């Protein structure tokens, strides 16, 4: 429900339906105000300024991981790759079934895997359908891309970020050097979540929505892509706010 209410598209349609309902009820004055709010919301969320500002404030908090900057690359590392969704189609190999964000997260994990000779990929994610879990799909795709199965571990239980941190903490504690791979916009929440379980980690953000000159585009025509960026930012900030208001988990 919260995700529904935080989606700019859903808010826009809700405002529009209220406006039409008021017109149908001949509430012209209120309908005029509601129509103005609807247009304002459309402009705010579908033009670049606010979506770019909010999303870049998340994506720019952590830099991509430069492996050479790690103090000791020969020690064992856990590289935890967060799930990101997949589909099902018997015609397609696992790498083609992963969502765009899941594939980019896995690719980043494999990049680190090849540069850290004693690393292990920890692949995470459950299945809402009861079929192949996200962890299994990530593992199968990783094997196709040259990863040694003996250097993979699966977490098939987590259904969200909080559960991913909880399951990892219960299973491994803080005994391993940990790198977490996830989308750049999601990384601030991941850092906050693992900190609650007293897990130290090295962030490795990937799957950037804003790249190059797009980080500096402040003006432009309305576009659904900007509303999509706004949705990502609102979801992340709302989740972090929820974490801050909770006393116990």
What is the DSSP track for 169-231?
HHHHTT-SEEEEEEEGGGHHHHHHHHHHTT---EEEEE--SS-GGGGG-------HHHHHHHH
Is the pLDDT at 248 greater than 50? The verdict is no
DSSP state of 65: P
Give Cβ neighbours of residue 35 (< 8 Å, ≥ 6 apart).
19
Domain count, the chain: 2
Residue 47 covered by a domain: yes
Does one domain contain both 116 and 236?
no
Does one domain contain both 128 and 71?
yes
Residue 171 covered by a domain: yes
Residue 217 covered by a domain: no
Task: Give the Cα separation of 235 and 7 in Å (integer).
Answer: 8
Residue 184 near residue 59 (C-beta atoms within 8 A):
yes
Does one domain contain both 86 and 175?
yes
Does one domain contain both 15 and 137?
no
**Chain-centre distance for alpha carbon 134:** 14
Confidence of residue 6 (pLDDT cuts 50, 70, 90): confident
Residue 74 covered by a domain: yes
Does one domain contain both 172 and 55?
no
Q: What range does the domain containing 142 cover? A: 67-206
Does one domain contain both 72 and 30?
no
Does one domain contain both 84 and 197?
yes
DSSP state of 155: E
Is the pLDDT at 246 greater than 70? The verdict is no
Does one domain contain both 135 and 15?
no
DSSP 3-state assignment of 10?
A: helix
Residue 218 covered by a domain: no
Task: Give the Cα separation of 106 and 46 in Å (integer).
Answer: 30
Is the pLDDT at 52 greater than 50? The verdict is yes
- More confident: 180 or 159: 180
- 69-84 pLDDT per residue, tens: 898 888 899 999 998 8
Residue 84 covered by a domain: yes
Does one domain contain both 24 and 120?
no
Q: How many CA atoms lie within 13 A of 171 on its CB side?
A: 16
- 118-152 pLDDT per residue, tens: 999 999 999 888 889 999 999 999 999 999 999 99
pLDDT value at residue 59: 96
CATH number for the domain harbouring residue 181: 3.40.50.620
Is the pLDDT at 116 greater than 90? The verdict is yes
Residue 160 covered by a domain: yes
H or E, element range at 84: none
Give Cβ neighbours of residue 29 (< 8 Å, ≥ 6 apart).
none
DSSP 3-state assignment of 163?
A: helix
Does one domain contain both 153 and 89?
yes
Does one domain contain both 233 and 147?
no
Long-range pairs for 182-185 at CB < 8 Å and ≥24 separation? 182/81, 182/82, 182/105, 182/206, 182/207, 183/82, 183/84, 183/101, 183/104, 183/105, 183/207, 183/208, 184/58, 184/59, 184/62, 184/208, 184/209, 185/55, 185/58, 185/59, 185/209, 185/232, 185/233, 185/236
Residue 212 covered by a domain: no
Task: Give the Cα separation of 204 and 179 in Å (integer).
Answer: 7
Does one domain contain both 154 and 100?
yes
Residue 94 near residue 137 (C-beta atoms within 8 A):
yes
| Residues constituting the chain | 249
Q: Cα-Cα-Cα-Cα dihedral of 90, 123, 2, 6, to 10°?
A: -80
């Amino acid at each position: 429900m919260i995700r529904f209410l935080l989606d700019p598209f859903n808010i826009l349609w809700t405002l529009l339906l209220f406006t039409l309902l008021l017109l149908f009820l001949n509430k012209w004055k209120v309908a005029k105000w509601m129509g103005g709010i609807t247009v304002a919301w459309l402009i705010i969320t579908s033009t670049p300024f606010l979506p770019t500002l909010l999303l870049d404030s998340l994506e720019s908090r952590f830099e991509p991981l430069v492996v050479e900057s790690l103090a000791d690359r020969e020690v064992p590392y856990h590289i935890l790759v967060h799930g990101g969704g997949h589909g099902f189609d018997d015609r397609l190999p696992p790498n083609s079934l992963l969502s765009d964000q899941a594939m980019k997260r896995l690719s980043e994990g494999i990049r680190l895997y090849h540069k850290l000779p004693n690393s292990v990929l920890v692949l995470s994610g459950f299945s809402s359908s009861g079929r192949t879990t996200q962890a299994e799909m990530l593992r199968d795709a990783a094997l196709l891309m040259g990863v040694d199965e003996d250097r993979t571990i699966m977490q098939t239980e987590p259904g969200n970020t909080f559960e991913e941190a909880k399951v990892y903490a219960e299973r491994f504690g803080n005994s391993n050097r940990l790198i977490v791979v996830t989308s750049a916009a999601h990384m601030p929440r991941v850092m906050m979540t693992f900190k609650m379980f007293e897990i130290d980690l090295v962030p490795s953000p990937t799957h950037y929505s804003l790249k190059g000159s797009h980080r500096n585009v402040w003006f432009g025509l309305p576009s659904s892509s900007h509303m999509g960026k706004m949705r990502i930012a609102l979801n992340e900030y709302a989740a972090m706010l929820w974490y801050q208001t909770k006393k116990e988990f």
